[in-house]
Amino acid sequence: KVVFINKTNVSLGQKYKRACEVFTSLHSQGKIKIWNADEDHSENFETEITKARLIFLTPKSLCNHLIDTAPTKMSIDIFTLIVLGECHHTHDKSVYNELMSYYRIAKYREKAHRLPQILGLTSLPDTNKAKDLSSAKDYLMKVMAHLDVTTLSVVQQHREELLQYTSIPEKTSIAPPITGKSDTLKDTILWAMDYVENELKSPIDISLVWAIFTLDSNSGIEKTFFKI
């Protein structure tokens, strides 16, 4: 019994449609099921999931039926394989990590003997906007810990074929165009910034500098400063 997890119903619908095209025998037997979030309170969940072989649903929908207070509580051990699409979303407060918490509790606290295999898929690992390699590695290790990763796999075979369909980003610096026209507002703001910076660096004790800009009806911006 395999469950495929994805955050959006649109993506789930695409995966479900493709699965029905590939696994025609299972589809004709009614053993491929997609579960919509608005059906979470339905009493048919257990029946539908029990008879299905391949299930598509959001992580929150599955969590809603693993929680102790669920109307039709189910155990995570009924599944053989849980596939997490876009698994890089498994960070601290995400619903992906909420789902994985049921797995970790069953494995480490309850010492369950029968648990599903977890397969996480991602094409673009998240680094949480890390600014250096060490921080990026630390973040990825946390994500892998949440997923209880024992094996990390990357593409080795058919790598050249994959690169044919992969866009390689290039960093290019583009200088802003020089129009030759005067930018009164920009010049005034830059002048004000220089003025304040010079005043703050001066030996005079200035507690506060206010800059007030008023529009001149004739030629643009008039600069007025008050020192307090």
Residue ranges per structural domain of the chain: 2-155, 184-227
Taking residue 117's Cβ as centre, other Cβ atoms within 10 Å add up to 10
**Residue 228 banded pLDDT, cuts 50, 70, 90:** very low
Taking residue 90's Cβ as centre, other Cβ atoms within 10 Å add up to 26
| pLDDT over 50 (residue 64) | yes
| pLDDT over 90 (residue 84) | yes
pLDDT > 70 fraction of the chain, expressed in percent and rounded: 82
- The strand pair at 32-34 and 54-57 is best described as parallel
**Residue 202 banded pLDDT, cuts 50, 70, 90:** low
Do 48 and 84 contact (CB within 8 A), yes or no? no
Q: What is the mean pLDDT of the segment spanning 45-53?
A: 86
Report d(CA 12, CA 5) in Å as an integer. Answer: 8
Report d(CA 168, CA 112) in Å as an integer. Answer: 44
Task: Give the residue with greater pLDDT, 112 vs 41.
Answer: 112
**Residue 76 banded pLDDT, cuts 50, 70, 90:** very high
Task: Give the residue with greater pLDDT, 168 vs 79.
Answer: 79
Q: What number does CATH give the domain 2-155?
A: 3.40.50.300
pTM above 0.75, yes or no: no
pLDDT for 18 equals 94
Residue of 46, 56, 114, 44 lying closest to 83 (CA atoms): 56
| pLDDT over 60 (residue 210) | no
